Amino acid sequence: MYKLKRLFEYFRFFGILIIAKIVSVFVKSSPMYANLWIVSERGIDARDNGYHFFKYITKEHPEINSAYIISKDSPDYKKVAELGRIITYGSFCHYLSFLLAKVRVSSHIDGYAPDILFFNKFRFLVPDKAKNIFLQHGIIKDDINFCHADKTNIDMFVCSAVPEYDYVDKTYGYKKGVLQLTGLCRYDNLRKNDAPTHKILFMPTWRSTLRTCSRQTFLKSDYYKKYNSLLNSTKLISILEKYDYELIFYPHYEVQRFLDCFTTGNSRIKIADFKNNDVQQLLINSDILLTDYSSVYFDYGYMRKPMVYYQYDEEAFRKEQYGEGYFDYRRDGFGKVAETENEVLDELECILKNNLLPDAKYLQRMNSFYAFNDTKNCERNFKAICSIL
């Protein structure tokens, strides 16, 4: 049923695209489309590098004819509308803007397209004169096949650390000049609180094997069993009560549809949803990060805050989702790697006992990893885009 639905959608996208190509001939010189920069994330949100870049150019470079692509029902619609012009995701104007834009910018590959999967698969249908900018969703650490040069049409690929740059340059197959060491735009807004917030953020990533699974299949998965068990651990509750802390559980966007499957019987453990929570604010307003393989820990390391990796399924993850890249969690990680629930809880308590100070070896790794430690990432990205136009 999913494949059949997508097939009908593909025919619809193709039909709209043909009409938009015809209309574009007559409107390409109008003020709305001339020298247009379109910025986006996934078309449904504004919380990542796309949003922070758009915020920067609307404030610092109002001379740029820019627009942000987002759906009308997005919880982030209003805050973007306060910054500048909006193009409704999936609208006919979106198709025209996609065809006529001078610069396309997104935190996701093809995130500026009316449909990411369709335009990634059938990009040959669109004569591409625009510069396509991949701001990135995070710092790359693994071998992500769909980011390789033969799978994309990218003119600028943002990196934020020298080891990342060297690895992508060596293995992803991009031509010289495409990779730019400029830093993630959202890092400009990262800051460490002066006083403890008394919050632990539990933020695991998704699993590709569960992306389109049913609710019944999800409830039988190790992912659900392991993480729901932790949320209901009496030892965890005891630690939270002892140190007067809360734990906020916010899984990856792809897991959010199963959020109501997770349970907790204690008021100190909160389950956070996508609609009402901003990832960056959760990161800023917490003292400890608990994750698995999510690259969000790089944001945490940028703030020099302690973390723990809960990796109960490392072998399966490497086999089924992402092959290991240059970053070895035990050799290069910013926190302890725990394979069991008990190890996770012991390490959390150890960090709390140590007054939230990262172990010296982890702090040294954080200090040496990033290419930049400032608030000029948006500026560097803007200048880099201008340099390739």
Q: Which residues contact 146 (CB under 8 A, 6 or more apart)?
A: 109, 152
pLDDT of residue 384: 98
Phi–psi pair at 199, nearest 5 degrees: -135, 140
Say if residues 304 and 358 touch (Cβ distance below 8 Å): yes
Q: Which residues contact 34 (CB under 8 A, 6 or more apart)?
A: 28, 65
pLDDT of residue 51: 98
What's 148's DSSP letter?
S
What's 146's DSSP letter?
G
Cα–Cα distance, 65 to 139 (Å, whole number): 29
Least Cα distance to 306 among 229, 201, 205 occurs for 201
pLDDT (tens place) for every residue of the chain, 389 residues total:
778 888 889 999 999 999 999 999 999 999 999 999 999 999 999 999 999 999 999 999 999 999 999 999 999 999 999 999 999 999 999 999 999 999 999 999 999 999 998 998 888 888 778 999 999 999 999 999 999 999 999 999 999 999 999 999 999 999 999 999 999 999 999 988 889 999 999 999 999 999 889 999 999 999 999 999 999 999 999 999 999 999 999 999 999 999 999 999 899 999 999 999 999 999 999 999 999 999 999 999 999 999 999 999 999 999 999 888 999 999 999 999 999 999 999 999 999 999 999 999 999 999 999 999 999 999 999 999 999 99
Count of beta carbons in the 10 Å neighbourhood of residue 371:
15
Residue type, 86: I
Q: Which residues contact 26 (CB under 8 A, 6 or more apart)?
A: none
As beta bridge partners, residue 158 has 180
Cα–Cα distance, 252 to 249 (Å, whole number): 10
Q: What is the pTM of this model?
A: 0.89
C-alpha 378 chain-centroid distance: 16
Structure tokens at 191: 């800051």
Cα–Cα distance, 14 to 8 (Å, whole number): 10
For domain 21-183+375-388, the CATH architecture is 3-Layer(aba) Sandwich (3.40)
pLDDT of residue 186: 97
As beta bridge partners, residue 161 has 370
Give the N- to C-terminal CA distance of the chain in Å, as an integer. 43
CATH 3.40.50.12580 domain position(s) in the chain: 199-369
Cα–Cα distance, 137 to 147 (Å, whole number): 11
pLDDT of residue 6: 83
CATH 3.40.50.11820 domain position(s) in the chain: 21-183+375-388
Cα–Cα distance, 95 to 76 (Å, whole number): 21
Is residue 210 classed exposed, middle or buried when 0-12, 13-18 and 19+ CB atoms within 10 A define those classes? middle
Least Cα distance to 53 among 74, 29, 33, 69 occurs for 69
pLDDT of residue 329: 96
Q: What CA–CA distances, in Å, run from 202 to 62, 198, 261, 268?
A: 39, 13, 16, 13
pLDDT of residue 212: 87
| Superfamily for domain range 199-369 | CDP-glycerol glycerophosphotransferase, C-terminal domain (3.40.50.12580)
Say if residues 290 and 310 touch (Cβ distance below 8 Å): yes
